[in-house]
Structure 1
């Protein structure tokens, strides 16, 4: 028999190898787009992404269209900018389950120690979504915070805690600079009401924090400096048991 009866011609094998390399390169570049957006912590234009990756705009546009079709990117931020999409939440559901399981005893202990409500928030684009909320068992009053609640990154204490881990910018306001210096965020207005929120970012070695721990008090308290270290410690302990 001819050799071709046993194996495809070499030129066919080479073509497949070339196709495999092309697909692998495209996948790698798509993942790099997501990594750039995650590291920047803000929406970027196609040109900014192309510059960061050293790719041409036509190549980046093709990647962006494909990622957006799979809901891994959002184009709703406007001004021709792209941000991470909600499709990533679907892919990360199992990770969230592991995160919730690992963080629960720490969040519960914090809520019990401060006799209030403690929540774990994850950054989703320009919002914070609360994936775990625990109320102290014997708290006489509590700020209700349902799991799945979303708060704007720019207008919440949790968002402020996450933003303090971003690269400093000349546009940073005094509140953000103060939070960055302290290592935590605190406000005495919660969702429009006179109350207190203290929030600390969960440390990340990969760049800006993607998670934060927040405690909510139904009144304005005057011992924030005494309670904040407990929140910071809880965030650090979560970082020690699960990678976010």
Structure 2
């Protein structure tokens, strides 16, 4: 593995995770690197327009060059899924996201929030959640072959065909996720709906979400 390339990617991942501009000193501290190394990385990334240093107080932010790189990433999936996800948001009046498996994480490649809801869960595209400890991850894992090591939560989710938890990003709320069917083999994509409070009619809401996930599968090949 290229150490320099890995460090440069860590800088981009840190800025994406923090969601705000950072100074070189802040990045060096977070990444455990010396400031001279971080400055060299920042200079190189800025030359390729992946970083912007046109931020006050010596802070750096993600650059517009990333847009040209990300524009084609899962473009067909996002384009095909968007009207379905938007319709789901309108129907349930809450936030919905499209998640893709990336190693041992689920990354949200599409997030749609309701326009006029009094209260909604905010979610950014690029947000990552662990496969083993998230509702989205549970939805993907339920499509795996059953194992004697499966816990009760996974067995129940597999029996129902969807995952549900009364916690959203460490808050008491409700998340419901349905895998997007993939044949053959386990699913690598899911639709997750995030409710800002704890709801009781999970099965009714889940039926709508499962149907939306099936519609996505029909219009795009995962």
TM-score of the two chains, using structure 2 as the length reference:
0.68
Q: Tell me, in whole angstroms, the C-alpha distance in 1 between the residues paired with 2:83 and 2:191.
A: 13
Partner of 1:234: 212
How many residues are treated as equivalent by the alignment?
158
Partner of 1:113: 91
**Helix, strand or coil for the counterpart of 2:185?**
coil
Q: Tell me, in whole angstroms, the C-alpha distance in 2 between the residues paired with 1:115 and 1:154.
A: 28
Match of 2:154 among 173, 176, 187: 176
Deviations 1:26-56 (A, max 9, x none): xxxxxxxxxxxxxxxxxxxxxxxxxxxxxxx
**Helix, strand or coil for the counterpart of 1:226?**
helix
- How far residue 94 of structure 1 moved from its aligned partner, in angstroms, is 3.1
Q: Tell me, in whole angstroms, the C-alpha distance in 1 between the residues paired with 2:121 and 2:70.
A: 28
- How far residue 138 of structure 1 moved from its aligned partner, in angstroms, is 1.3
- How far residue 131 of structure 1 moved from its aligned partner, in angstroms, is 0.2
Match of 2:173 among 175, 191, 195: 195
Deviations 1:82-125 (A, max 9, x none): xxxxxxxxx99735011100000000000110000000000001
Partner of 1:144: 122
Partner of 1:131: 109
Structure 2 spans left out of the alignment, 5+ residues: 7-68
**Helix, strand or coil for the counterpart of 2:88?**
helix
Partner of 2:144: 166
Aligned CA-pair RMSD: 2.0
Partner of 1:209: 187
**Helix, strand or coil for the counterpart of 2:167?**
strand
Q: Tell me, in whole angstroms, the C-alpha distance in 1 between the residues paired with 2:93 and 2:188.
A: 26
Q: Tell me, in whole angstroms, the C-alpha distance in 1 between the residues paired with 2:173 and 2:213.
A: 21
Q: Tell me, in whole angstroms, the C-alpha distance in 1 between the residues paired with 2:119 and 2:206.
A: 20
Partner of 1:21: none
Q: Tell me, in whole angstroms, the C-alpha distance in 2 between the residues paired with 1:146 and 1:99.
A: 17
Q: Does the C-alpha gap of structure 1 residues 92 and 171 become closer, same or farther in structure 2, counting only changes over 3 Å?
A: farther
**Helix, strand or coil for the counterpart of 2:124?**
coil
**Helix, strand or coil for the counterpart of 1:197?**
strand
**Helix, strand or coil for the counterpart of 1:194?**
coil
Q: Tell me, in whole angstroms, the C-alpha distance in 1 between the residues paired with 2:159 and 2:213.
A: 17
Q: Tell me, in whole angstroms, the C-alpha distance in 2 between the residues paired with 1:215 and 1:225.
A: 13
Q: Tell me, in whole angstroms, the C-alpha distance in 1 between the residues paired with 2:218 and 2:70.
A: 19
Partner of 1:94: 72
Structure 1 ranges of 4+ moved more than 2 A: 91-95
